[in-house]
Chain A
């Protein structure tokens, strides 16, 4: 079935996604090796969030939205699966705007992330690991999340994704709306998560930060991937040009 190399974790090939008749992303292809951190950059409305939603199964939704093309995770086709099955396969999403369960406590939000049958036996251990990564959450474990600051909520959202023991985490707008100090802290934690060998895709508005913390990047423009490469290997002018849609720089 699979044609991808064994170390390839995620493979997206000629993927298009539609909201009804409206095409949000077009002919996107990318590959992610184990341990890779891919930064997806692009202006508002370029299709970054839609790309992530397509990977986690939120875009094959009957009449409302559908996919064309192929998504493979560890050699297995997942573009026809529902979000429940995709998280079970090992992909977790940290959604834009965090989307925590507002009326639930920190601990309940985290435990909700360990709902899967394969996660339940390790739930207590993973909870301890998340509290180790974010000690602040341990102090506030009984607090209702709607009463917390944006940064703390983002920690809960990241922790909740970690609870399912994912091999690939997709972060949608990781730093949006957070105070700069908090952004620094979140990125330090991200580095620790990456060290554990988890592959990541990061959608980020902050170009410099995205490039600094990734091993690969791609630039999206009007629903397509217009530039791909490794940070440092592609001149900054080419990246900003692709970001704003000037010039037709396409690079492997």
Chain B
């Protein structure tokens, strides 16, 4: 092999690892909410992907109403709005179909495991049909000037500006979330309630409120992920479930419910997918991702960063 060949092999791998890692950052962003839902409430939220698309549509609608502002500003409205929606959905709906609620009503814990799955699956259908009704099935996208912009690292290495931005956003969001969980009363309450809800109540923590806040934060981060999706590609009302699947894989990789685990899991999945795509063709990309998940499940079923 000549020096030239080696150089290009290096460039190829470096490109793969870089763009894979950066793609993984967006995977992490997509997964944080699901990880939080599962980690705190043991809730598998099957409507997670649809909320991403809802947020993306909200951003588009908002930016159409107020033309001329930078797309980024849409988040200033959509993130708090989605926090509120998440809080309400948890308190009005999901708190009443949890394991604890089933137990309170004297139902078998099996219902407690099944009910949230059925309800969030139903929610997923309602959301996608609702979006079809309101926004029609035309593909939408969040218009922006950064879509084709790239950061050049060297003559032969470059990164998508947007993807890199979202990688940083994911890292900052996770760090902020970890700090918030560590140092605020409500963050401590979320950790306490996820550990022992009954004792948390003995400390004066209203678990219905605490779960509401956790769900609000989950949807707020899902809406940042939805914004990212809308900036980087076009989307339609039924595009949610594949994101749920990705998030699911990442959460399983990282260890169910672990926030940092979902970051590392996301990056790992991204790198493996991109490298597989480079060397074995685009078709191998998804397969390699699922093989990785399968492999981790076989070797370390609790995930890489299980608590």
Q: Do A and B come from one complex?
A: yes
A residues with CB within 8 A of B: 20, 56, 58, 61-64, 82-84, 87-88, 92-93, 95, 99, 101-104, 108, 111-116, 119-120, 160, 164
A11 to chain B minimum Cβ distance, whole angstroms, is 21
**Could you tell me the distance between the alpha carbons of A84 and B185 in the complex, rounded to whole angstroms?**
15
Chain B: interface size category: 20 to 34
B136 to chain A minimum Cβ distance, whole angstroms, is 45
Q: Does B1 contact A (CB under 8 A)?
A: no
B residues with CB within 8 A of A: 103-106, 182, 185, 188-189, 191-192, 195-196, 198-206, 307
B203 touches A87 (CB 8 A): yes
- Smallest Cβ-Cβ distance to A87: which chain B residue: B204
The number of inter-chain residue pairs (CB within 8 angstroms) is 74
**Could you tell me the distance between the alpha carbons of A114 and B184 in the complex, rounded to whole angstroms?**
12
Known: A99-B196, A104-B195, A120-B185. A113 touches B104 (CB 8 A): no
Known: A61-B104, A62-B106. A84 touches B191 (CB 8 A): no
B245 to chain A minimum Cβ distance, whole angstroms, is 29
Partner of B104, one of A63, A83, A93, A104: A63
Known: A101-B191, A112-B192, A115-B189. A164 touches B204 (CB 8 A): yes
A115 touches B106 (CB 8 A): no
**Could you tell me the distance between the alpha carbons of A84 and B104 in the complex, rounded to whole angstroms?**
17
Partner of B203, one of A62, A64, A160: A160
B25 to chain A minimum Cβ distance, whole angstroms, is 26
**Could you tell me the distance between the alpha carbons of A120 and B186 in the complex, rounded to whole angstroms?**
11
Q: Can you give 9 contacting A-B residue pairs, CB < 8 Å? A: A56-B202, A62-B105, A83-B201, A84-B201, A84-B206, A101-B192, A108-B182, A108-B191, A119-B204
Partner of B202, one of A95, A111, A114: A95
Q: B182: which A residues are within 8 A, CB to CB?
A: 108
Q: A58: which B residues are within 8 A, CB to CB?
A: 198, 202
**Could you tell me the distance between the alpha carbons of A82 and B197 in the complex, rounded to whole angstroms?**
13
A111 touches B188 (CB 8 A): yes
B202 touches A20 (CB 8 A): no
Known: A62-B105, A108-B188, A115-B188. A164 touches B203 (CB 8 A): yes
B188 touches A99 (CB 8 A): no
Q: B195: which A residues are within 8 A, CB to CB?
A: 101-104
Contacts A93-B202, A99-B196, A111-B185 supplied; 17 other A-B pairs, CB < 8 Å: A58-B198, A62-B106, A63-B104, A63-B105, A83-B202, A84-B205, A87-B204, A101-B196, A103-B191, A108-B191, A112-B189, A112-B203, A112-B205, A113-B203, A115-B189, A119-B204, A160-B203
Q: B206: which A residues are within 8 A, CB to CB?
A: 84
- Smallest Cβ-Cβ distance to B187: which chain A residue: A108
A101 touches B199 (CB 8 A): yes
Q: B201: which A residues are within 8 A, CB to CB?
A: 82-84
A20 touches B205 (CB 8 A): no
**Could you tell me the distance between the alpha carbons of A120 and B188 in the complex, rounded to whole angstroms?**
13
Q: A115: which B residues are within 8 A, CB to CB?
A: 185, 188-189, 192, 203-205
Q: A56: which B residues are within 8 A, CB to CB?
A: 202
The 6 closest A-B pairs by CB, nearest first: A63-B106, A62-B104, A116-B204, A83-B201, A101-B195, A87-B204
- Smallest Cβ-Cβ distance to A62: which chain B residue: B104
B17 to chain A minimum Cβ distance, whole angstroms, is 33
